[in-house]
Structure 1
Amino acid sequence: MPAGAPCRLLLASVLLLRACAQGFGQTRFVCTSVPLGADMCASSLQSGGSAEDLQSTVLQLRETVLQQKETIVHHKETIRELTAKLGRCESQSVLEPGPGEPKAGGGASRKQPGSAKNTMGDLSRAPAAETLSQLGQTLQSLKTRLENLEQLSRLNASGQGSSLRDLLQSKIDDLEKQVLARVHSLEEGKLSPRNESEERSKIESTLSALHQRISDLEKGQKDNRPVDRFQLTFPLRTNYMYAKVRRSLPEMYAFSVAMWIKSNASPGVGTPFSYAVPGQANELVLIEWGNNPMEILINDKVAKLPFSINDGKWHHLCITWTTRDGVWEAYQDGTQGGHGENLAPYHPIKPQGVLVLGQEQDTLGGGFDATQAFVGELAHFNVWDRKLSPGEVYSLATCSSKAPAGNVIAWAETSLDIYGGATKWTFEACRQLN
């Protein structure tokens, strides 16, 4: 290599690096060819006749750098798109908790700012894991209805009832196998989106047909069923599925509210009932939202309740309250688990309001938020305008005697209007204890 070659290469490299680093800003560098054996330092300070050629080379290098930057940006976009697609694929095979962020405190007046409504009612756009959970809940509900038919059916005399129930039970078992197979396919990544859609459509079609056959059987028994032997089922968190009590609460200086309830929703079972009056949406509300404990709200004042019910089993709940000193008591399955005072003391429950089951009201009769909706089953919702004694509560929870229905709100099919797809099925409270 000629003697001056290393120096010329080093000078050119330094000039190129400095030009790239400074983005061709205020400083200008000019390279000049140096003859062999010449003084490098002296020659580098002189302006040669090849300045135009050197400037052209620099511009070409700059263009190359810009092209490389564009290529890098393009690759980053591609990586982001692939990452997003991978995340969507993974979300279809991993079970995730229900939607909604935990809320600080209870009641509608303390929502997180900017929280969006979420209907979750469109099964065609639900994640695969969520749809599987909904199918599982539907299968369990169909089993419960089938058990009710076995207890109440009048078809045995003809010898056809048993065979028909056996057929329905067989179909339910087959559906369970299909759901389990679908779960395994999702976990192993073997189910393509097209096959998944076809499989889901097939299962939902079979469920609809089975649901209709059981409903037809139940219609034949409805005339012989007492008006209070039914339950309401809210299978999904939506902002449109609820039941409305046809009459308002009167002015009350004391009350007792009792109900049978079943849920395995998480986080929080939602709002079993809410009562709103003009000017106060939280006049009387029972709610379990997010990771907070269940709470009772009276005139927007809050007391935390010691209930634990989201185990998928039936539980009897009762809450009593008097306006004097705001004394309250909470019973689960006939046993008092908590009590307190100063809950909205000397504030009577106001009349002329709207009583809703399954949703929390932000406005009178509306303003529902799907994240606060009740998910589960509800029955024998009764309201009294007095404080029940511990013995009366125990009798209600254990069916040890024929306890009277609520003198303000009595559980009856004729007292409710049902909206948004909430279903009404046969229910016998005391049979759940056996």
Structure 2
Amino acid sequence: MRATKSGISWRLSLLFILFLGSSSQNFGGQTQFICTSVPKDMDICAATVQNSVPGEDLKTTVMQLRETVLQQKETIMNQKETIRELTSKLARCESQSGTDAGGRRKEFGSKNTMGDVSRGPADTLAQLSQTLQSLKQRLENLEQYSRSNSTVQANSLKDLLQSKIDDLEKQVLSRVNSIEEGKPGLRNETEQRGRVESTLTSLHHRITDLEKGQRESRPLDKFQLTFPLRTNYMYAKVKKSLPEMYALTVCMWLKSNASPGVGTPFSYAVPGQANELVLIEWGNNPMEILINDKVAKLPFLINDGKWHHICVTWTTRDGVWEAFQDGVMRGSGENLAPYHPIKPHGLLILGQEQDMLGGGFDATQAFVGDLANFHIWDRKLSIGEIYNLATCSSKAQVGNVFSWLETSLDIYGGASKWTFEACRQLN
């Protein structure tokens, strides 16, 4: 058999016709195998239909095959477009999640402060709510346990729970601050932060209530205050004001590893003068004593995470001052607010620096660490008296203006109170 025109392969025509016949069999039609030659310019499918006996069936089969191929092509194109769109969205998500609100690059897939992969504010706050509920339940169990078991075992559980709550508070505040920095205009998140802080304060108060059962056996001066993180709401307030003073000595035990600067162990403000008497170390500045807003730099190095005893003496005559660390004089000077008496009718705050009487707290200047045995005298103590205080001598005295007692303070914002004995720290 030969092709009727040059350049036409009868083998190709035969194979194509056989293929069409086989395909029609798959659709349930009857099959005939036809061998024929096809002119060069003639449509092969048209020729096949014309020469086939069951022409209409074969034509239908060919059209169905064509339609199926076209549909598959269209499906493939749509899938490719979908893949491109999803790839583009994924790239945008990676770009957005890799940069924080301030433009600083974050590691994609990194964990947030709560230990989970970064999620939205609503999810995070919901998780915090669940965690706090769990803590409440554990605290209730602790209270029941302390009533039915020994004091030592109850204290051990209480200490563990307090540590967990302190860690949670740091994580909560860090996460909420991060949320508010990213979306400062969302009032709902600010309200939820307030509720979280209120719940944490309530938990601290309930733990303090657990300590009340121990106070009969513990002296009122054997305690420390702990400020676990920088905030503008965590502080202790001395219940009474200071008298007018022409000389003074301030002593305390401090422990901190905060950097840069331990913050403000105490501040005393009076009407018209927020910086009447302040001890502060913030930023990269050395520790300073302020009297009537006048400044003297102190040679203290205490942010090593260890307990240190510090004292500062001052007299209004010539403004002479002396600074002692761990019972040893480290520095002295003069002309610090000379001939200015410390004014009465003010407010003494532990843990915060006051920009106004009783307020204006700045978290960057807040004290971070532990404070204990805070005493004030209205005279200049001698070197020997200060040494006795630092070495826990039996001759050590207590402040005649302010003496360190639990009943002399009101505590706010979650600052915690723990048993403390200075002499044990020295052994």
Alignment equivalent of 2:381, drawn from 379, 388, 398: 388
The answer to whether the 8 Å contact 2:98/2:108 transfers is no
Deviation at 1:168, TM superposition (A): 7.6
* 1:293-304 pair list within 5 angstroms: 293-304=286-297
User: 1:14 maps to what in 2?
Assistant: none
Deviation at 1:78, TM superposition (A): 8.3
Deviation at 1:220, TM superposition (A): 2.7
User: 1:256 maps to what in 2?
Assistant: 249
The answer to whether 1:289 aligns with 2:282 is: yes
User: 1:422 maps to what in 2?
Assistant: 415
- Work out the CA distance in 1 between the residues paired with 2:109 and 2:378: 49
Deviation at 1:424, TM superposition (A): 1.4
Deviations 1:392-430 (A, max 9, x none): 000000012232211111111111111111111111111
The answer to whether 1:241 aligns with 2:234 is: yes
Deviations 1:127-163 (A, max 9, x none): xxxxxxxxxxxxxxxxxxxxxxxxxxxx9xx995666
Alignment equivalent of 2:400, drawn from 386, 395, 407: 407
Q: Which stretches of structure 1, 4 residues or longer, exceed 3 Å deviation after superposition?
A: 76-83, 88-95, 158-169, 210-219
- Work out the CA distance in 2 between the residues paired with 1:389 and 1:166: 41
User: 1:60 maps to what in 2?
Assistant: none
- Work out the CA distance in 1 between the residues paired with 2:292 and 2:151: 52
Alignment equivalent of 1:89, drawn from 107, 120, 132: 107
- Are the structure 2 counterparts of residues 354 and 401 from structure 1 closer, same or farther at C-alpha, using a change threshold of 3 Å? same
Count of residue pairs the alignment pairs up: 275
Deviations 1:19-45 (A, max 9, x none): xxxxxxxxxxxxxxxxxxxxxxxxxxx
* 1:66-145 pair list within 5 angstroms: 81=96, 83-84=98-99, 87-89=105-107
Deviations 1:310-345 (A, max 9, x none): 111111110000011111000011010010111111
Q: Tell me the amino acid that sits aligned with residue 256 of structure 1.
A: T
- Are the structure 2 counterparts of residues 264 and 93 from structure 1 closer, same or farther at C-alpha, using a change threshold of 3 Å? farther
Q: Which has the higher contact order (CA 8 A, sep 6+)?
A: 1
Deviations 1:68-89 (A, max 9, x none): xxxxxx9x98896365168233
Q: Tell me the amino acid that sits aligned with residue 310 of structure 2.
A: L
Deviations 1:195-229 (A, max 9, x none): xxxxxxxxxxxx99x98997676433211211111
In structure 1, stretches of 5+ residues that fail to align are 1-73, 96-123, 126-154, 180-206
Q: Tell me the amino acid that sits aligned with residue 232 of structure 1.
A: L
- SS at 1:394 equivalent: helix
The answer to whether 1:345 aligns with 2:345 is: no
- SS at 1:325 equivalent: helix
CA RMSD of aligned residues (A): 3.9
Percent of residue pairs bearing the same amino acid type: 71
- Work out the CA distance in 2 between the residues paired with 1:408 and 1:375: 25
TM-score by length of 2: 0.57
Q: Tell me the amino acid that sits aligned with residue 303 of structure 2.
A: N
- Work out the CA distance in 2 between the residues paired with 1:383 and 1:279: 22
Alignment equivalent of 2:258, drawn from 251, 265, 274: 265
Larger Rg computed on CA atoms: 2
TM-score by length of 1: 0.56
- Work out the CA distance in 2 between the residues paired with 1:370 and 1:167: 31
